């Protein structure tokens, strides 16, 4: 492993899957990661209890406890693509749905027939940024 790079990492499976599924369909077993580490330690005679950098693919929809446990077993990177896409989409979607009357023409909106849409676009950027920062998915308490 170290011949590849000292930062070589492994996306070892422990029940994780890409995407988000109906609750109950994904059963994570982060404790398997500890067994993976133990196996590598024995096979390589490593001194470190966590000789491998592990990657948690398919993290979207997982609980904070699952992340904590996985990290405690040597996960150094988590992938949350579906959750990130959803967060991005929902912010844009909500803004467009709430402000659609302001976004139909470049000039003219409910505030006046000569008002430019650029004011609304500037406002949308501020709303989007502030909303994302308020959501727990992007700012977990751990
Ligand atoms: Zn992946």
CA of 94 to the centre of ligand 1 (A): 28
Say how many Å lie between the CA of residue 90 and the centre of ligand 1.
22
Q: Report the DSSP beta bridge partners of residue 116.
A: 107
Q: Determine the pLDDT at residue 1.
A: 57
Q: How far is the CA of 57 from the centre of ligand 1 (A)?
A: 4
The alpha carbon of 93 and the centre of ligand 1 are apart by a number of angstroms equal to 26
Full DSSP string of the chain: -TTT-TT-EE---SS--SS---TTS----THHHHHHHHHHHHHHT-SSS--SEEEE---TT--HHHHHHHHHTTEEEE--HHHHHHHHHHHHHHHHHHHGGGSSSSEEETTEEEEETHHHHHHHHHHHHHHHHHSTTTS---
* pLDDT confidence of residue 134: 66
- pLDDT given at position 105: 86
pTM for the complete prediction? Answer: 0.68
pLDDT of residue 2: 61
CA 96 to ligand 1 center in whole angstroms = 30
Which pLDDT score is estimated for 3? Answer: 78
Centre of ligand 1 to C-alpha 83, Å, is: 13
C-alpha 128 to ligand 1 mean position (Å): 27
Low-confidence residues in the chain, pLDDT < 50: 137, 139-140, 142
């Amino acid at each position: 492993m170290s011949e590849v790079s000292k930062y070589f990492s492994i996306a070892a499976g422990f029940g994780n899957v890409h995407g988000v599924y109906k609750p109950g369909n994904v059963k994570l077993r982060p404790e398997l990661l500890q067994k993976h580490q133990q196996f590598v330690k024995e096979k390589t005679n490593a001194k470190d209890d966590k000789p491998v950098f592990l990657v948690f693919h398919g993290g979207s929809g997982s609980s904070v406890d699952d992340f904590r446990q996985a990290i405690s077993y040597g996960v150094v990177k988590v992938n949350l693509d579906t959750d990130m896409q959803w967060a991005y989409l929902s912010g844009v979607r909500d803004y467009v749905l709430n402000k659609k009357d302001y976004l139909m023409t470049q000039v003219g909106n409910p505030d006046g027939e000569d008002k430019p849409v650029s004011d609304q676009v500037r406002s949308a950027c501020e709303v989007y940024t502030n909303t994302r920062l308020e959501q727990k998915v992007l700012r977990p308490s751990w």
